[in-house]
Structure 1
Amino acid sequence: MDIKKKLGMAAMSAVLGITLIAGGTFAYFSSTEVTNNTFAAGTLDLSVNPSTIVEVENLAPGDSIIRSFELVNNGSLDIEKVTLETDYTVHDAHNNNTEDFAKHIEVEFLYNVDKLDEVIYRTTLAELKEMTPDAINQHIFYPALGEKGLPVNSLDDFVVKFNFVDNGEDQNEFQGDSLDLKWTFVATQNPGSQK
Structure 2
Amino acid sequence: MSITKKVSKGLLTAALGFSLMGGGTYAYFSDSEATANTFAAGTLDLSVDPETIVNVDNLKPGDQISREFKLGNNGTLDIHQVLLETNYTVDDAKGDNTGDFGEHIKVTILYNQANATVEVMETTLKELSEKTPDLTAIDQFDNQLPDGLKPGEQEKIIALFEFVDNGEEQNEFQGDALQVNWKFNASQTEGTLNDNDTEE
Alignment TM-score > 0.5, same fold: yes
Higher normalized contact order (CA 8 Å, seq sep 6+, divided by chain length): 1
Residues 32-82 of structure 1: per-residue CA shift (max 9 Å, x gap):
332222111111111111111110011111111011111111111222221
Q: Which residue is equivalent to 1:174?
A: 173
Q: 1:77–1:3: structure 2 CA closer, same or farther, 3 Å change rule?
A: same
Name the CA distance, whole Å, in 1 between partners of 2:31 and 2:127: 69
Matched, 1:164 2:163: yes
Q: Percent identity?
A: 51
Name the CA distance, whole Å, in 2 between partners of 1:93 and 1:160: 26
Q: Which residue is equivalent to 2:72?
A: 72
Letter in 2 for 1:184: K
Higher helix share: 1
Name the CA distance, whole Å, in 2 between partners of 1:83 and 1:51: 16
**How much does 1:175 deviate?**
1.4
Which blocks of at least 5 consecutive residues in structure 1 are unaligned? Answer: none
Name the CA distance, whole Å, in 2 between partners of 1:90 and 1:15: 100
How many residue pairs were aligned?
A: 189
Q: What are the within-5 Å matches in structure 2 for residues 1-195 of structure 1?
A: 14-15=14-15, 17-112=17-112, 114-115=115-116, 119-131=119-131, 133=132, 136-137=133-134, 140-143=135-138, 148-193=147-192, 194=194
Letter in 2 for 1:143: I
Name the CA distance, whole Å, in 1 between partners of 2:11 and 2:177: 104
> Secondary structure at 1:130's aligned position in 2?
coil
Which blocks of at least 5 consecutive residues in structure 2 are unaligned? Answer: none
Residues 156-182 of structure 1: per-residue CA shift (max 9 Å, x gap):
111111011122222222111111111
Name the CA distance, whole Å, in 1 between partners of 2:169 and 2:12: 115
Name the CA distance, whole Å, in 2 between partners of 1:173 and 1:15: 111
Name the CA distance, whole Å, in 1 between partners of 2:5 and 2:178: 108
